[in-house]
A and B are shown apart, each in its own frame.
Chain A
């Protein structure tokens, strides 16, 4: 990589960490690994974020420390991969397989099991082992200007004669649309804020107490109850959740489904809202991927799920529609956290099976007056027939109260995350 002299120096790994974590809380590891030497002294250590412990490391280097301590791991990724990082300096020390990447990825990391939250912050171009780790992360934030790809443009040019820029290869506009970045950050401060924000919703590890906060009433929303218009997803989320709490994930990927984390009367939840204002709120093949990733994360870390449904379900399109819809239906079925459905408009097509009938005692299915459900459009029961809404029809204005009451009832006074047994070993990235 070449840098013009005019460019300000990029922060060092330690500077990133200092700006990310609670001030003064970073305690670098005393014994740095061989990897760290190869990575120019970068390695990692422990710190506090929001008063809670984390391990911060360069790419996946000290993942095991976090896993042994059972608290979140934050990977700060920027690097050219092992080969170019060290290989030019000393061919004699090259591992024939790993170049200068420092040996095999450890097996625990590769198997993941979602026992601790894992986050990747892409603060600069990331190739090779720096990019691999994003595929094993529950949350990926990418800085504008950073490129993330298996390998860099130079290897492409040499190996395949393909000439591409960093942006074309793996810039934010690539990964915001293919879903590999959950958040795109404009500045480094946005990166740090995103990491802190995401972690604030999760327990420190699977099985730890849920980080329940103070209840905050919803803020002003463009949506007001009583209009006959079907509400768009985001105003509806704002109207139901604690003020300013909605933390959206993958906003530009499969936009007909809006997903994210939020707080409902202080309780952290995963929200999946079909957006009738975008693509009719259909569960497209990509929307199924988007939903499945969030369901797996929430189930592993004990966050209840709230589905806001006004959707025709899957739509005909090329690709693996059947498989992805069934995958999502499986994820919903296998998730063991409390699940709440609010049918605000229509739940039709195979969308009904995805949004699903209530199946276990901790589930809740409520509907707004006028909501319709049926497998095929036009075959729905009449607007006054809500037999499928197991827990009744609610006044839209009472929806938040109904959800909060249910969640408080099923979670109890001091909720502990009860990780599901099955989805925690599902693929991490979808």
Chain B
């Protein structure tokens, strides 16, 4: 059992002041080591897991943790004779990650009663991170109940200070990406602990854990009915949140989850509007005579777009998000001459790089993230267009496509588009931000036009084709497609500035990096948040 704070530990033989300090030390030592009780802590260790305090110790820079709310407890317990368990179901405070300040809030799953989590404490920690303008990180590993009781008048964020008096749930609903928020799911999670997963900028989930909004177990199945590792049953399947696209990265171990979070944050400013973490400005921008070899000239040949991105970016700077979802498009962070960039690229290895509704969603989410935090965008195009099909229309292709157009129409970060090999029709229009990107480039071998030439020829010359004998049609089509191919050379669209310039593959890295440098130097700092900052993270 937890001892109440009113415990007397005094002795008559020492001074009052020493006694007071010693009592604090003793209580703090008791609270921090006792947590939810030795049995609960032993059970966590027996399961091969870490307690909340151990997560913080392993995750943050050594010795940097400054705890907040050591003696906080649950709403219902504040005035009870025994106010514990202390911590309120959340252990949190400020710390540094690679030297940069952050605030962390970790589910204390050694604690079960009475509700498992005080949303008031999480709200308080979030509010502090917001005021200090640095990232807020939640580690979720519990099945917890939010305090949602309706009490009119004020919002949760405003009320975080009045811990225990007001419901504090809405603290993340109003966030509008003012500071980066990361959610690390390191144990089975539901209820209030799952909320941040739907509201964060980066969601990393430990493989084998189960994440759901409603509580799994006898009262109902999880979002897929699948059992997580902690609940027994098959853990071989990836978390269902991977298939739904909600998870940005899956980690095999907690240590990997920590590393992924550090990596993610390394590309972001500490707050929206803050200075970008530009590094390694000395990385050379020399002509790259190898990069052109990565892209086969024949338009039907597939190649690895990620290899192209790696060569364009500073060595070792490529960091992909959602690598297992909608793999025909790549969303990744990288650096060019030290400047962080967000990259959206077609991936010809999958479905020839054709776009699907899922691709649009993946791109929308990433564009919102980049624009909210001022990270420049680089779009690399090689796509035959949208993969039209009855299924795509059922999956709301029109909605997804136009929402991506809407998002790209609202961006204000520096943006560059490069057509690597081909871009047709609506896909080009959208990926070029409806002529909204700052700088639109094409490689000299690129094809740009309203439709893939063979298809376009077939549609355009339908009447003529119908009149021809069967055996002459193929040759006629090929000839007409070739005619269109000439129109679709990049020099055509360069004449009316649909593309701003045609750039050698080897010079691309240098051109983009120099443009970004100039652009960042001359743009005034943003005075209002991006309209995309309030957009949902995923849907």
Which chain A residue shows the least CB distance to B156? A359
Q: A180-B396, A376-B145 are in contact. Are A160 and B388 (CB under 8 A)?
A: yes
Please report the total number of A residues contacting B with Cβ < 8 Å. Answer: 95
B299 → chain A, closest Cβ, in Å? 14
Q: State whether the Cβ of B169 lies closer than 8 Å to any Cβ in chain A.
A: yes
Q: Tell me which of B154, B214, B216, B532 has the highest count of chain A C-beta atoms within 10 A of its own C-beta.
A: B214
With beta carbons under 8 angstroms apart, the residue of A96, A110, A357 that contacts B406 is A110
Chain A residue numbers with a CB within 8 Å of B405 are 105, 110, 132, 135-136
Q: State whether the Cβ of B33 lies closer than 8 Å to any Cβ in chain A.
A: no
Q: Are B219 and A318 touching (Cβ within 8 A)?
A: no
Q: State whether the Cβ of B319 lies closer than 8 Å to any Cβ in chain A.
A: no
Please measure, in the bound complex, the distance between the C-alpha atom of A349 and the C-alpha atom of B534, giving whole angstroms.
25
Q: State whether the Cβ of A148 lies closer than 8 Å to any Cβ in chain B.
A: yes
Q: State whether the Cβ of A346 lies closer than 8 Å to any Cβ in chain B.
A: no
Q: Are B146 and A375 touching (Cβ within 8 A)?
A: yes
Q: Which of A152-193 contact B (CB under 8 A)?
A: 154-156, 158-160, 162, 164, 168-170, 174, 178-180
Please measure, in the bound complex, the distance between the C-alpha atom of A227 and the C-alpha atom of B113, giving whole angstroms.
39
Q: A314-B213, A422-B534, A427-B403 are in contact. Are A110 and B409 (CB under 8 A)?
A: yes
Chain B residue numbers with a CB within 8 Å of A132 are 398, 401-402, 405, 426
Q: Are A322 and B197 touching (Cβ within 8 A)?
A: yes
Q: State whether the Cβ of B323 lies closer than 8 Å to any Cβ in chain A.
A: no
Chain B residue numbers with a CB within 8 Å of A107 are 409, 434-436
B485 → chain A, closest Cβ, in Å? 11
Q: Are B173 and A329 touching (Cβ within 8 A)?
A: yes
Q: Are B148 and A150 touching (Cβ within 8 A)?
A: no
B143 → chain A, closest Cβ, in Å? 10
Please measure, in the bound complex, the distance between the C-alpha atom of A404 and the C-alpha atom of B402, giving whole angstroms.
38
Chain A residue numbers with a CB within 8 Å of B399 are 135, 180, 429-430
Q: State whether the Cβ of A104 lies closer than 8 Å to any Cβ in chain B.
A: yes
Q: State whether the Cβ of B191 lies closer than 8 Å to any Cβ in chain A.
A: yes
Which chain A residue shows the least CB distance to B402? A135
Chain A residue numbers with a CB within 8 Å of B538 are 320, 323, 327
Please measure, in the bound complex, the distance between the C-alpha atom of A170 and the C-alpha atom of B197, giving whole angstroms.
34
Segment from A29-37, A40-48, A387-395 that makes contact with B: A387-395
Please measure, in the bound complex, the distance between the C-alpha atom of A95 and the C-alpha atom of B178, giving whole angstroms.
42
Please measure, in the bound complex, the distance between the C-alpha atom of A110 and the C-alpha atom of B411, giving whole angstroms.
12
Please measure, in the bound complex, the distance between the C-alpha atom of A66 and the C-alpha atom of B487, giving whole angstroms.
35
Q: State whether the Cβ of A256 lies closer than 8 Å to any Cβ in chain B.
A: no
Chain A residue numbers with a CB within 8 Å of B278 are none
Please measure, in the bound complex, the distance between the C-alpha atom of A429 and the C-alpha atom of B493, giving whole angstroms.
31
Q: State whether the Cβ of B96 lies closer than 8 Å to any Cβ in chain A.
A: no
Please measure, in the bound complex, the distance between the C-alpha atom of A352 and the C-alpha atom of B498, giving whole angstroms.
50
Q: Are B221 and A316 touching (Cβ within 8 A)?
A: yes
Please measure, in the bound complex, the distance between the C-alpha atom of A179 and the C-alpha atom of B215, giving whole angstroms.
29
Q: Which of A287-333 contact B (CB under 8 A)?
A: 288-289, 292, 313-327, 329-330, 333
Q: Are B212 and A316 touching (Cβ within 8 A)?
A: yes
Q: State whether the Cβ of A402 lies closer than 8 Å to any Cβ in chain B.
A: no
Which chain A residue shows the least CB distance to B461? A88
Which chain B residue shows the least CB distance to A168? B390
Q: Are A96 and B449 touching (Cβ within 8 A)?
A: yes
Which chain A residue shows the least CB distance to B241? A322
Q: State whether the Cβ of A225 lies closer than 8 Å to any Cβ in chain B.
A: no
A380 → chain B, closest Cβ, in Å? 11
Q: Are A150 and B386 touching (Cβ within 8 A)?
A: yes
Chain B residue numbers with a CB within 8 Å of A409 are none
Which chain A residue shows the least CB distance to B435? A104
Q: Are A148 and B390 touching (Cβ within 8 A)?
A: no
Q: Are B398 and A91 touching (Cβ within 8 A)?
A: no
Chain A residue numbers with a CB within 8 Å of B398 are 131-132, 134-135, 148-150, 180, 429
With beta carbons under 8 angstroms apart, the residue of A95, A322, A327, A423 that contacts B212 is A322
Q: Are A150 and B392 touching (Cβ within 8 A)?
A: yes
Chain B residue numbers with a CB within 8 Å of A97 are 425, 428-429, 448-450, 493, 498
Q: Are B536 and A326 touching (Cβ within 8 A)?
A: yes
Q: Tell me which of A97, A168, A329, A360 has the highest count of chain B C-beta atoms within 10 A of its own C-beta.
A: A97
Q: Which of B158-183 contact A (CB under 8 A)?
A: 167, 169-170, 173-174, 176
Q: Are A149 and B393 touching (Cβ within 8 A)?
A: yes
Q: Are B246 and A159 touching (Cβ within 8 A)?
A: no
The 5 A-B pairs of least Cβ separation, nearest first, read A135-B402, A326-B198, A357-B150, A327-B536, A425-B531
Q: Would you list 21 pairs from A and B whose C-beta atoms are within 8 A, ordered by A residue? A: A87-B460, A88-B462, A110-B408, A132-B398, A135-B398, A135-B402, A136-B406, A149-B388, A178-B394, A316-B216, A318-B240, A322-B212, A322-B223, A365-B150, A388-B149, A391-B152, A423-B534, A426-B534, A427-B535, A429-B396, A430-B399
Binding site for A on B (CB under 8 A): 145-146, 148-155, 167, 169-170, 173-174, 176, 191-192, 194-195, 197-199, 211-216, 219-225, 240-241, 243-246, 364, 386-390, 392-399, 401-403, 405-410, 425-426, 428-429, 434-436, 448-452, 455-456, 458-463, 487-488, 492-493, 498, 531-532, 534-539
A96-B488, A316-B212 are known; give 6 further A-B pairs, CB within 8 A: A94-B450, A111-B406, A316-B221, A322-B194, A325-B213, A376-B191
